[in-house]
Amino acid sequence: MWKTLSNGLQLIVYFFTNELKSIIKDAGAVLIFMIALVIYPLLYSIAYEKEVVRDIPIAVVDLDHTAMSRQASRMADATEQLMVTYKPQSLKEAEQLFYQGLVKGVLLIPSHFEKDILSGKQCNVLVYSDASYFLMYKQVYAGAVYAIGTLSAGIEIKRMLAEGKAVKQAFEQQEPLKVDVQNLYNPSAGYGSFVLPGIVILILQQTLLIGIGMMGGTQRERNLFHVMHKKVNLKWGSIPVILGKSFAYTFIYILNAIFCIVILHHWYRLPDNGSVINAIFILIPYLLSVSFLGLAISVFFRERVYSLLFMVFLSPVVLFLSGLSWPAQSIPPFLYAIAHVFPSTTMIPMYIRMRVCGAGLNQLTAEWGFMMVQMVVYFVLACVSYKFAIRKFSNSTIK
């Protein structure tokens, strides 16, 4: 028994070191496993560094030309969301500026604006914004509502003061219910802080699957399965191969993950309310699951380029089904259930709850248990796939 165990450990070490050597000698594998995993998160982080969209150029069409309409224009320009860059004389001119891409929204102050306000009539200020770009639309709308709402509140308070009411009473009547909004886990309400933690987890998976597929395609191209056939003990089957290779991939990706979730995380000041040690603890079965899944499907790629084409095609689907770009509650249940074939579907919400929201391991037992089951299932699947591949392709090579 001890001799069999010793032989198995020696084979695991052999395939571990052999896989590391193969990766280092393969320029394409180095590019995917090491360089791409540094470049992708950096590019995403730089693109989302400003977190929220500020100073969006808008046009203000002032048809009233009074002191109050000019004040409304100045208040819109004073918000962090908006920047008044043009003041066309008509809505038609503003429309041309919008179509030319010079402005992202239009604020229309109607004629008789001041007169209607002073006479106690309700006056409507029109906001035109491009709803096809939801980030721009949100900021233009929020900035306009904030500016006009503040102006409206000031007018109402002045009216009540003129009626003889005390300042405190006027403020309380103007806003009887005050809303105090607290942004939990994402104080800046920034898009980068929302999307980057999940994107990093997804990048780890996709680059690892692409790299493993490339290595598997290389084995098919060079007919290397007969070498494994000579090395693998028949009693152990393909287990040493799978463990050795997966440990090599996990070793490389643990180092990559430390760069992504520690250095990059603090560099761009992303929300951090959890333990790095706990994050690495849940990353290990995740990386092993992805490695086993990659090894299971890698034997089907005849050429290394096929893995790249397949995974690039699959990446947008995985991103959408992960619940990151679209809420998981809005995805059809059967489709979201299928999405759990990919380890990232379970890992992304688990990692965000732990690292961003500060959840402990005891609060993630369901996800952790599912990840462990998934790891075992993909391990068995990888062993079966490689045993089949070693027998089939090594025999065909010998013949």
Q: Are residues 209 and 232 in the same domain?
A: yes
* 119 contacts: CB under 8 Å, gap ≥ 6: none
Q: What is the pLDDT, as a whole number, of residue 399?
A: 43
Given 147, 174, 201, the domain boundary residue is 174
pLDDT interval class at 85 (50, 70, 90)? very high
Are 61 and 152 found together in one domain?
Answer: yes
Q: Is residue 181 part of a domain?
A: no
Residues 270 and 147 in one domain: no
- Beta strand 126-129 with 82-86 is unpaired
Q: Which of 128, 133, 116, 145 is nearest to 61 (CA)?
A: 128
Report the pLDDT value the prediction gives residue 228, as an integer from 0 to 100: 58
For the stretch 179-203, pLDDT in tens is 777 778 887 777 778 888 888 899 8
SS3 61: strand
Q: Is residue 36 part of a domain?
A: yes
Answer yes or no: is pLDDT of 380 > 80.
Answer: yes
Per-residue pLDDT, 107: 92
Q: What per-residue string of b and e applies to 195-209 under the rule 16 or more CB within 10 Å gives b?
A: ebbbbbbbbbbbbbb
- Domain count for the chain: 2
- Quick one: pLDDT at residue 370? 93
Claim to verify: residue 99 and residue 144 sit in the same structural domain: yes
The predicted structure's pLDDT at residue 108: 92
Q: How far apart are CA 124 and CA 128, in angstroms?
A: 13
Beta-strand pair 82-86/56-62: parallel
Structural domain that includes position 103:
56-174
Q: In terms of domains, do 22 and 60 share one? A: no
**Assigned domain for 112 exists:** yes
- Residue 393 is predicted with a pLDDT of 63
Question: What is the pLDDT, as a whole number, of residue 114?
Answer: 87
Co-location of 201 and 75 in the same domain: no
Mean pLDDT throughout 103-115?
Answer: 90
> Do both 285 and 195 map to the same domain?
yes
User: Is residue 118 located within the same domain as residue 89?
Assistant: yes
Q: Summarize the confidence of residues 71-92 as an average pLDDT.
A: 91
Same domain, 66 and 143: yes
pLDDT above 50 (res 301): yes
Determine the average pLDDT of the residues in 73-102.
Answer: 91
Q: Is 113 left (phi over 0), alpha (psi -120 to 50) or beta?
A: alpha
Average pLDDT rounded to a whole number, residues 98-106: 91
pLDDT greater than 60 at residue 383:
yes
**How would DSSP label each residue in 130-173?**
-TTSHHHHHHHHHHHHHHHHHHHHHHHHHHHHHTT--HHHHHHH
Question: What's the residue count for the chain?
Answer: 399
Sequence-ordered list of residues with C-beta below 8 angstroms from that of 15, at least 6 positions apart, any chain: 231, 240, 241, 243, 244, 245, 248
Domain boundary pick from 174, 205, 234: 174
Q: Please write the tens of the pLDDT for every residue from 57-71.
A: 999 999 988 988 899
Determine the average pLDDT of the residues in 97-125: 87
What's the pLDDT band for 398 if we cut at 50, 70, 90?
very low
Quick one: tokens of 327?
């809420």
292 and 389 inside one domain? yes
Residue 215 has pLDDT above 80, yes or no: yes
By CB atoms closer than 10 A (0-12, 13-18, 19+), residue 357 is middle
Does 61 lie in the same domain as 45? no
DSSP-derived secondary structure letter, 304: H
Among residues 140, 174, 208, the one where a domain terminates is 174
Q: If you average pLDDT over every residue of the chain, what do you get?
A: 83
232 against 292, higher pLDDT: 292
Over residues 373-382, mean pLDDT: 93
Is 390 within 8 Å of 229 (Cβ atoms)? yes
pTM: 0.80
Whether the Cβ atoms of residue 205 and residue 290 lie closer than 8 Å to each other: yes
pLDDT at 234: 53
Cα 257–Cα 259–Cα 261 angle in degrees, nearest 5: 60
Residue 179 resides in a domain: no
